[in-house]
Amino acid sequence: MSVTTAAYATDELPGETVDAVVIGGGAAGLNGALMLARSRRSVVVIDSGTPRNAPADGIHGLLGLEGTPPAELLRRGREEVRRYGGKVVTGEVTSAAPTAPSADEGEPRFTVTLVDGSTLSARRLLVATGLRDVLPDVHGLAEHWGHGLVHCPYCHGWEVRDETIGILAVGPASVHHALLFRQLTDDLVYFTRGSELDEDTRARFAARNIRVVDTPVTEVVAAEDGDIAGVRLSDGQLVPRRVLAVATTMQARTEGLDELKLPMQDLPGGMGRHFATGTAGATDVPGVWVAGNATDLSAQVGASAAAGALAGARINADLVAADTEAALAAAQRGGRSETGNGATGNPN
């Protein structure tokens, strides 16, 4: 088996309870798993294989990895997690639920069920499911996502510099969006699409030579080469554009997680919904942490990876505290504790 094939292969689920299950195999999930595996914790990553940035040509704004294809970064990440004994399983989680605490210490326990019916027991969970971008309902728009249609000036800005760019407004957030993209091109058109735009903002746009179009947008027109040719208006006019930018509605991926009853928060203006977390991704549910875009909707790859690493470290610290309490209790009973090194598994 080649190195590449091995990196994308799926590992077998362990039969014993593991220290941690990571739900989501993106930058946050893999970095969290890496921290846990390097702390000699038994950790399993469940990865559905549908990363948010899959359509992108490269990762940007990440020092030392600038321009790396997203799939290549994940390939390296899987290899690194496995290097330290972690497992990466290809699958989709249909249920993650608390189960009865451990008999001796009353520790949290969770059962994770995959779409094929297989199950896995864990002491702790790291939710790193990412988010889903919801696009405006404009005919012909979605097919250009990740190429001619972009959302982040820091992720894609340099690559679309000096192009004819159009902003498809979705609400107040689009005003800030337009000013950021104006830094990248002298030819910017703002399509209001029925959103409010006060006179002060119009004056600011005029001062920056941002053209405002109030006529409704009916469709995005593709060129013969498949790229964007322009935006068709309700009066039949075609406004030529090569790139479109839109502030998407960002929704944390919550499929299969309902039984955890994790608290959620809404962003203002209907911009999105995410898991509510505290320091280092801790949640109100004992034993569960969240990292990456599932809780920080605006985080780029570097920030998501850093959050995953921090959450992984906190999970390990929590497990260390639990193992120490178990060892103390066993010593006081005159027995011997079997908890500790996750590399050899942990009792139920």
- The more confident residue out of 8 and 339 is 8
Torsion angles phi and psi, residue 210, rounded to 5: -95, 115
Confidence of residue 333 (pLDDT cuts 50, 70, 90): confident
pTM over 0.85: yes
Find the helix or strand (DSSP H, E) in which 96 lies.
Answer: strand 93-99
| Selection from 32, 73, 78 nearest residue 54 by Cα | 73
Confidence of residue 348 (pLDDT cuts 50, 70, 90): very low
Instruction: Supply the pLDDT for residue 102.
Output: 65
CA 189 – CA 165 distance, rounded (Å): 7
Average pLDDT of the residues in 145-154: 92
Maximum mean pLDDT: which of 5-14, 63-72, 333-342: 63-72
Confidence of residue 344 (pLDDT cuts 50, 70, 90): very low
- The more confident residue out of 6 and 188 is 188
Instruction: Supply the pLDDT for residue 335.
Output: 54
The number of beta carbons lying within 10 Å of the beta carbon of residue 152 is 18
Instruction: Supply the pLDDT for residue 4.
Output: 38
pLDDT tens digits, one per residue of 49-90: 888 877 778 888 888 999 899 899 999 999 999 999 999 999
Instruction: Supply the pLDDT for residue 312.
Output: 98
Residue 105: pLDDT over 80: no
Strands 288-290 vs 228-233: parallel, antiparallel or unpaired:
unpaired
Instruction: Supply the pLDDT for residue 34.
Output: 98
Question: Beta-strand (E) ranges in 181-291?
Answer: 188-191, 210-213, 217-222, 228-233, 238-240, 243-245, 249-252, 264-266, 272-275, 288-290
